[in-house]
Structure 1
Amino acid sequence: MRLEQRHIRHQGFELTPLDSGDRTLFIGLFNDPMVMQYIGTPLTDKKATRLFQQALTPKSDSVYYYWSVSEADGTKIGIAALITQQQGVAEFGLMLSPEFCFKGYSVPILSGLINFGFRQWRLDTVVAKHQINHLASARLLRRLSVQRVSSDGEYWFWQLERNYWVELNQRPPYLCMNGN
C-alpha cells in the first residue's frame, strides 16, 4: 500500500513531494562527490536519472518517498527522504547542497520530516544509519534525540521511538532561573 505523501512546512522550510522540476537538484546531489562522501559512490548521470524517474513514478509497493527541500523564499537546497522498512518503521535521510551544509538547517528540516512520519503516517519508529567516521551525522542525530543502538564496524545504526519523541515535544522548555 502506498502511503500518502504531503507537503510539510516546518520552522521556515518547505518539504514538497518530488516533482519533475526537481530533476537538476536530485541528479546534482546524487552525483556530487562532496554530498555522497559519506553516503556511497556518486551516481553517474544515467543512474541518477533512472533513480529520479523511479522516484517520480512510484509503484503501489514503493518504499521510497522523496521531498525537495526549500527555504522560505523558495530556494531549493536539498532532498529529504523516508524509506519504509517493515510495518511501522521508516529510515529518514537528508541530502543538502554543499553551500547549505553546516548552517543549522538539518535539525529543523529533519524534525519536520520526523513529525510527519510519526503524526501523519503513524510510524512507531524512525531509524537512520551513517558511516562511523561521519561525526557530523552523529552530532545531528543526538541533537534530534535519536538513540544509537548498534554498529557493524562500518556504520552506526540509530532509532527513535514515537512515544519518546512525543514525550520530548510535550515537555515545557527548560527555564534557567539564575539568568544563565
Structure 2
Amino acid sequence: MQSKEISVENTMHSFETERLIIRLLEQGDRGFFVSLYTDPKIMRHIGEPFSDKKAHSSFKTAIKLNTETPIKQLLWGIIDKSSKEICGIQNLSLHYEDKRVAEAGLILARKAQGRFYPEEALVGMVNYGFTQLGLSSIYAYSSVRNRASKRVVTKAGFHQFDETESKISFKIESE
C-alpha cells in the first residue's frame, strides 16, 4: 500500500465540539503545557513527570511539529468554550510506515476532569482524523491501572485488541 502524505496547507487543523474548541498549540500555551507534563499526579499513568527543562524542550518540539510538512504529529489545545481557558492537550502521531495510521494521546488538567471533556475531545479528534486527514485507523494505549482512560477510549468507539501486564491497546477504524 502506498503511503498518503498529508500536507499542512491542505487542512485547517482546528475544529469544535459542543463544548470545546480544539486548535493547534500556540506559544501562549507553554506554561499550561509545562504544568501538565511536570505534574506527578497527572503523569502517574503516563510516565515519569518531566523536568522543567524537558517540558520546555518538548513544547518547543510540539510547536515545530505542528508546522512540518508532511505531517508527522499534530498537537492541539483543548479550550473550554464557556471559560475560554485551555483545559487539555491532545495529539495524533502519524505512523512512520503508513501515514494513514495514527496514535492518539490526550492529557487533561485536573480542573477539567470529571466533566466528560476527554470523551468529547477524543471523538472530535477521531472524526477530524478520518474526515480531514484521511486516516484509516487510529490507535490508543493506556496503562492497565488507568481505568478512566479505558472508559474514555471505549466510549469514543475504540475497541480493545490487546492487553499486557502494563498496557492496554485500542483501535478504531474509519467506516
Fold shared by both chains (TM-score > 0.5): yes
- Name the residue aligned to 2:25: 18
Cα distance in 2, alignment partners of residues 114 and 52 from structure 1? 23
Consecutive unaligned residues of structure 2, counting only runs of 5 or more, are: none
Write the mapping of 1:151-166 to structure 2, written as runs, cut at 5 A.
151-163=163-175
Report the Cα offset of residue 103 of structure 1.
Answer: 1.4
Aligned to 2:172, the other structure's residue is in SS state: strand
Cα distance in 1, alignment partners of residues 6 and 173 from structure 2? 22
2:140 equivalent to 1:128 = yes
Report the Cα offset of residue 8 of structure 1.
Answer: 1.1
Report the Cα offset of residue 157 of structure 1.
Answer: 0.4
2:90 equivalent to 1:83 = no
Residue among 104, 107, 120 paired with 2:116: 104
- TM-score (norm: length of structure 1): 0.85
Cα distance in 1, alignment partners of residues 72 and 64 from structure 2? 12
Moved over 2 A (4+): 1-5, 58-64
Cα distance in 2, alignment partners of residues 129 and 56 from structure 1? 23
Aligned to 2:55, the other structure's residue is in SS state: helix
Aligned to 2:74, the other structure's residue is in SS state: strand
Q: How high is the sequence identity, in percent, across the aligned residues?
A: 25
Are residues 151 and 93 of structure 1, via their aligned partners in 2, closer, same or farther at CA, if it must alter by over 3 Å?
A: same
Cα distance in 1, alignment partners of residues 19 and 38 from structure 2? 27
Cα distance in 2, alignment partners of residues 61 and 31 from structure 1? 30
Contact 2:7 2:70 in 1 (8 A): no
Cα distance in 1, alignment partners of residues 169 and 72 from structure 2? 19
- Counterpart of 1:12 in structure 2: which amino acid? R
CA deviations 1:63-114 (Å, max 9, x no partner) are 2210111111311101111111132111111111011112111111111111
Residue among 116, 124, 127 paired with 2:128: 116
Residue among 51, 70, 73 paired with 2:79: 70
Cα distance in 2, alignment partners of residues 92 and 160 from structure 1? 10
* CA RMSD, 1 decimal: 1.5
Aligned to 1:102, the other structure's residue is in SS state: coil
Larger radius of gyration: 1
- Counterpart of 2:93 in structure 1: which amino acid? I
- Counterpart of 1:66 in structure 2: which amino acid? L
Consecutive unaligned residues of structure 1, counting only runs of 5 or more, are: 164-180
Report the Cα offset of residue 159 of structure 1.
Answer: 0.1
* Count of aligned pairs: 163
